[in-house]
Structure 1
Amino acid sequence: MNVAAPSTIFNAIRPADDGPSRRRSRWIAAVELGLISSSFSTVVGQLFAARIGRDAAVDWMTVAAIPARDWALGPEPPWSAIITGIAFHQWADFSWAVFFFGVLGRWTADLRPSAILVLALPWAVFSSSMEWFVLVPLFPFWQPLFTLLQPYWIGLLVHGSSAVMYPLFARLRWRRGAAPARDVRFTNAWITAALAVIALLGAVALFGRHGYGPPWMGRDRDADQTYIRHMTAHHAQGIELARIAAERGQDPHLRKLAMLMVASQAGENRILETWWLSWFDSEMPDCSTDERATMPGFLTLVEMRQVKAAPADQFDSMFIDAMSRHHAGAVRMADQMWHDHGDLRLRIMAHAIRHEQRGEIALMHGASGFAAVATAFRNMLSDNVN
């Protein structure tokens, strides 16, 4: 029995060598590919975020806090933070593409487009894991906020949207007019598909902003409506409580974290309100006093007044205690929805909310380093209901 040599197998997924004079530097091609792939993932992320319950502006602000720390955080994402977050994201995606085709170019730069795609998707898993588990929360940035507030799958989606553009390298590595016809056909089809995806997401986003998004697709209408109403009311109290801390907090970092809580919960409420109008075509009824009293973690008027009136030297500890209980209640509500049979978009959003709010509890208690990574990993997978 004849067994093909490894070099023969590897050459089968390489294009024929048409001579170095027709090739461009793999580093130049990698730079161009990095610009394309990072820009594509930015556009897709911006357009797709709200479809799964994410406020893109808040997410960009959170990303900006990786290099810019507390400067980037505010109760409303400032344009400076949004631009910083986008730029940092593009730099990161750009760097991964250059590493893949430049540093690892000895093994990747000559592959056929289909082979590049096969390798690019595991690369997205690797690169997103490195950022979420190591590079951001540990070395070199030592910023636990990103990992504790965004579940891993968000980064995986972002890196995946970047990686799907990697097959275009098969066209960029050739000088103008020198690319093999097969690579040209493949990349032309790939570019067309990418533009179609952007156009589709853009149309859905545009209609969604005006209340004409995809219809509700859950199994239990009453349960989904109850969850949206309750979480919106719960968030409203959380915003009120966080605004107090943003003004009265003694620890500057706690004040900034409270501002982020305001921004994230306000953004989520806007999405929930938009979904309600789109799905149920009516105004959202307010929660009754009895409903609020039965919500887990919902503070009483007396408890809210106690936080507002707390002496300056006791305020931070009282706020952390009150907000931790409030967040823990929201986590239980979100976890119930995650395990329920509601609309998939609502369940995905609920999973992100429970991760975010447990992460904020950890941040209020000073989590960082390896402890923050371990906490984030547990938060993403834990069951807070059963």
Structure 2
Amino acid sequence: MNTHRSLVRRASAVAAATTAALVVAACGSNGDSPAGHGGHGSKLPTASAPAAKGQHNTADVAFAKGMIPHHRQAVEMADLAPSRAKSADVKKLADEIKKAQDPEIKTLAGWLTSWGERVPADGAMDHSGHSGHGMAGMMTAEEMDKLKASSGKAFDTAFMDMMIKHHEGAVAMARTELADGAFPDARTMADAIITSQTAEITRMNNLLGRN
């Protein structure tokens, strides 16, 4: 009987100690104590969120806002090739340009949206007025009209001449992003643009017999 009472008392003491420990732990994890593991862990996501948003800077925004209308014009030019170009090489090149730059436009627009920035509207840089001349390598309205009015070999030559100038502008914009930008994905895209479009410039010069 005495043994039974002793066991009951021990069990009661253990239960009381456990309850006290839980109360102390709860008080320690309410965020008042910076040393508490619970408080430290709960603050990590909040602290890291601003850092993630802050990975881009004004150069990244300028790169995205400039490259979207720049790419759109390249795609517009490429869309003319199937019905106007004579050279199969030019048609293939135009198709490759469109397939490369269309997805990049969507990616760039996604970045701007996530940063709370306005995505340039379609036609915002429509080759008219001073806006078209403010972008490196952008074609003027007259140049685009000339390209649309040409066909056959004349189109092939005009298309490549204009696209070389256009690519050179994109490469310059991408180099600025690499020099001044902070957003890792934008810098990766800029590097890819430099590599791919420099290669296409060489390719077009070869087709024009300039190398």
TM over 0.5: yes
Shift of 1:216: 4.8
Distance 1:332 1:293 in 2: 15
1:352 aligns with 2:192: yes
TM-score by length of 1: 0.37
Distance 2:131 2:167 in 1: 17
Distance 1:226 1:243 in 2: 26
1:288-346 CA-to-partner distances (Å, cap 9, x unmatched) read 65343211100000000111112423111111101110111111011111111321221
The match for 2:55 is 217
Distance 1:341 1:360 in 2: 24
1:361 to 197, 201, 207: 201
1:263 aligns with 2:99: yes
The match for 2:110 is 274
Change (3 A) 1:327 1:262: same
2:79 to 243, 248, 264: 243
Change (3 A) 1:311 1:257: closer
8 Å contact kept, 1:239–1:266: yes
Structure 1 residue identity aligned to 2:71: H
Please give the residue correspondences for 1:285-300 in structure 2 after superposition, counting only pairs within 5 Å: 285-286=120-121, 287=124, 290-300=130-140
Distance 2:154 2:61 in 1: 38
Structure 2 residue identity aligned to 1:292: G
1:331-367 CA-to-partner distances (Å, cap 9, x unmatched) read 1011111111321221111011111111111222337
The match for 1:107 is none
The match for 2:165 is 325
8 Å contact kept, 1:247–1:255: no
Distance 2:79 2:179 in 1: 31
The match for 2:28 is none
The match for 2:30 is none
Please give the residue correspondences for 1:91-106 in structure 2 after superposition, counting only pairs within 5 Å: none
The match for 1:201 is none
Structure 2: 5+ residue runs without aligned partners? Answer: 1-51
Structure 2 residue identity aligned to 1:281: G
Change (3 A) 1:366 1:240: same
Distance 1:298 1:217 in 2: 29
2:174 to 302, 324, 334: 334
Change (3 A) 1:281 1:317: same
Distance 1:328 1:282 in 2: 26
8 Å contact kept, 1:331–1:357: yes
Distance 1:242 1:302 in 2: 17
The match for 2:119 is 284
**SS of 1:281 mapped into structure 2:** coil
Structure 2 residue identity aligned to 1:308: K
8 Å contact kept, 1:334–1:351: yes
The RMSD of aligned alpha carbons is 2.1
Change (3 A) 1:246 1:215: farther
8 Å contact kept, 2:78–2:97: yes
8 Å contact kept, 2:87–2:153: no
Shift of 1:247: 2.7
Distance 1:225 1:341 in 2: 9
Shift of 1:282: 4.6
The match for 1:25 is none
Structure 1 residue identity aligned to 2:103: G
Structure 1: 5+ residue runs without aligned partners? Answer: 1-213, 368-386
Structure 1 residue identity aligned to 2:60: D
Higher-Rg structure is 2
* % identical aligned pairs: 32
Shift of 1:277: 1.5
Structure 2 residue identity aligned to 1:277: T
TM-score by length of 2: 0.66
Distance 2:201 2:54 in 1: 32
8 Å contact kept, 2:85–2:151: no
Structure 2 residue identity aligned to 1:284: V
